[in-house]
Structure 1
């Protein structure tokens, strides 16, 4: 009788551990992730759903004015750039628009709107000196250097992440409170 109880307890313990491991490793939360490409390590993330928008704001290295890139998450888990805002036509900034896009000037700023540039992922090098790359979503403004070493190259993509990955990376929403 004791042997059956021990076997039963062992099976229950094994089942519990097996389920716990599955629970920890199965991707469950969709997020916009900032990944160090060389190590495939998630440095920071923000939970995000299709239709939600975010911006990346930075200071241009040459003319030292703000540039704001606006993005939306698509149903296909792509990142769609839909607007670009900047203050100077200097080196590195566009002076024409692609088909279907519109160019506007308002209050001393230039806007390219109606953009439909889609990416499965894109690479960003977090600025070392002046850029101050900042993730912006609604009232949240998070300087990326709080979670990413300046000068680090990161891959930005939409990905389902598991609980362990959530514990390893910085959740921008929680870190910003």
Structure 2
């Protein structure tokens, strides 16, 4: 009887450990599919990250700077870009500041916070990467081109982590 109780307690503890959200990750959840795949970048204590991409029309780099809030929301800090033609802001709106220095525009946001956003992985050979803790994660190599992914910061369990794919950064 003691052995049965012991095994039951161990099984319950194992289930709790396996299914309790204990890892904070940047999550890329595939959308518009019947069998969505999840991809993760492990988050540590560093709360800032960047998304860098080459604009498909201007063919210039855009750098978006983000911060992870205490409630795991995504706070847009600023955008840096070289051209204000198609698709890039040429003026600041309420709660924003636009400056121009050394050939680059910098659009800063006072309080722009979202829970998630959809990221489209274009089927073109231009850069799209997440930069976190000095490491570059090439999204064009890790995620399926032509697909959309829900991007969010969230806590996941060991079970969720085993079901998904943990992205690796490129060697610097």
TM-score, normalising length from structure 2? Answer: 0.87
Bigger Rg, structure 1 or 2: 1
Please identify which structure carries the higher strand content: 2
CA distance in 1, matches of 2:147, 2:90: 29
User: Secondary structure of 1:63's match?
Assistant: coil
User: Secondary structure of 2:85's match?
Assistant: coil
CA distance in 2, matches of 1:146, 1:15: 43
User: Secondary structure of 1:14's match?
Assistant: helix
User: Residue 25 of structure 1 is aligned with which of 16, 19, 38?
Assistant: 19
Render the CA deviation track for 1:2-61: whole Å, top value 9, x for unaligned: xxxxx3222222221221111111111222211123455422232155x71111111111
User: Residue 49 of structure 2 is aligned with which of 41, 45, 54?
Assistant: 54
User: Secondary structure of 1:130's match?
Assistant: coil
Q: Structure 1's 12 and 146: CA in aligned 2 closer, same or farther, altered over 3 A?
A: farther
Q: Please list every run of 5 or more consecutive structure 1 residues that lacks an aligned counterpart in the other structure.
A: 1-6
2:38 pairs with 1:42: yes
Match of 1:77 in 2: 72
Mean Cα displacement is larger for which, 62-71 or 129-138?
Answer: 129-138
Please identify which structure carries the higher helix content: 1
The answer on whether the counterparts of 2:31 and 2:147 sit within 8 Å (CA) in structure 1 is no
Q: CA deviation at 1:125?
A: 0.6
Runs of 4+ in structure 1 deviating by more than 6 angstroms, as ranges, are: none
2:92 pairs with 1:97: yes
CA distance in 2, matches of 1:15, 1:53: 40
Q: CA deviation at 1:115?
A: 4.1
CA distance in 2, matches of 1:56, 1:81: 11
**Cα RMSD after superposing both structures:** 2.0
The answer on whether the counterparts of 1:32 and 1:156 sit within 8 Å (CA) in structure 2 is yes
Q: Please list every run of 5 or more consecutive structure 2 residues that lacks an aligned counterpart in the other structure.
A: none
Match of 2:146 in 1: 151
The answer on whether the counterparts of 1:66 and 1:87 sit within 8 Å (CA) in structure 2 is yes
CA distance in 1, matches of 2:44, 2:115: 15
The answer on whether the counterparts of 2:39 and 2:166 sit within 8 Å (CA) in structure 1 is no
TM-score, normalising length from structure 1? Answer: 0.84
- Taking the TM superposition and a 5 Å limit, the aligned residue runs for 1:129-168 are 129-168=124-163
